[in-house]
Amino acid sequence: MKILHIDASARTEGSYSRRLSSHFIDCLHENGLAITVDRLDLALHALRHFGALETAAITLPETEHSAEMRQAIAPSDALVARVLAADGIVIGTPIYNFGMPSTLKAFFDHVSRNGKTFLADGTGMRGLLGDTRVAVLSATGGTYGPGDVFDGLDCLTPHIRAILGFLGVTDLSFVAAQPMMFAGPDAAAMSFEAAKAEAASLAKTWSTAWN
């Protein structure tokens, strides 16, 4: 099985979301699942945001692309190929300003491509990633549950759910470690251990399904 492992935290050291996503990958290995991991670190390899050339390229047949368009859209084509080759996608991400990091949004912009990851034609629209499992492992400074300080302000989860649902993903799971900043070190430690246990359980589910 091939796993595309993405980390979106801007912090390359001391990131809880990176630790949680790595823990999930480790659990897959420990469960005896034969996996190969394709690593995408968005802090070390930030993606160009879609501009005029990319936008023009995705609206035209490839036969009509200029040399500049072909060069601009090539990174997007390469990312799409990596997504399509993956049996599972593991995303480690924080919440920044109540949503996803801009680097992760750029990733989704690159891989949301008509004719490649979804199809829009005379019969309607349908996603093409229905066979792909996705796990989103997040870490947040505060808490976003009912009655919490940031109740109703989690824009990360519904946004990712909407994008991946549009692309056809039906096996989508979220594991969140929270609060990691605003309730003190003891609360952070307890929250992180609980998230690790939840991630391990999810990894067991993946491993059982694929073994």
Distance (Å, whole) CA 54 – CA 78: 13
- Position 149 scores a pLDDT of 85
> Does 112 carry a binding-site annotation?
no
What are the extents of the domains in the chain?
A: 2-47+87-210
Q: What is the pLDDT of residues 5-40, one digit of tens each?
A: 999 999 999 999 999 999 999 999 999 999 999 999
- Position 188 scores a pLDDT of 85
Whether the pLDDT of residue 109 is over 80: the answer is: yes
Fold of 2-47+87-210: Rossmann fold (3.40.50)
> Does 96 carry a binding-site annotation?
no
- Position 169 scores a pLDDT of 98
Give 98-156 as a DSSP string.
Answer: TB--HHHHHHHHHH--BTTTEEEETTEEEES-TT-EEEEEEE-SS--STTSTTTT---H
Distance (Å, whole) CA 190 – CA 185: 9
What is the value of pTM for the model shown?
A: 0.95
- Position 180 scores a pLDDT of 74
> Does 17 carry a binding-site annotation?
yes
Q: Give the residue-averaged pLDDT of 79-99.
A: 97
SS3 category, 2: strand
Look over the chain and give the mean of its residue pLDDT values, rounded to a whole number.
94
- Position 132 scores a pLDDT of 98
Question: Is 142 in contact with 151 (CB distance < 8 Å)?
Answer: no
Q: Which helix (H) or strand (E) holds 178?
A: none
- Position 142 scores a pLDDT of 85
Q: Give the residue-averaged pLDDT of 57-67.
A: 90
Give the type of residue at 64. Answer: E
Q: Give the residue-averaged pLDDT of 66-75.
A: 94
SS3 category, 176: strand
> Does 9 carry a binding-site annotation?
yes
Q: What is the pLDDT of residues 161-189, one digit of tens each?
A: 999 999 999 999 999 999 877 677 888 88
Distance (Å, whole) CA 181 – CA 86: 33
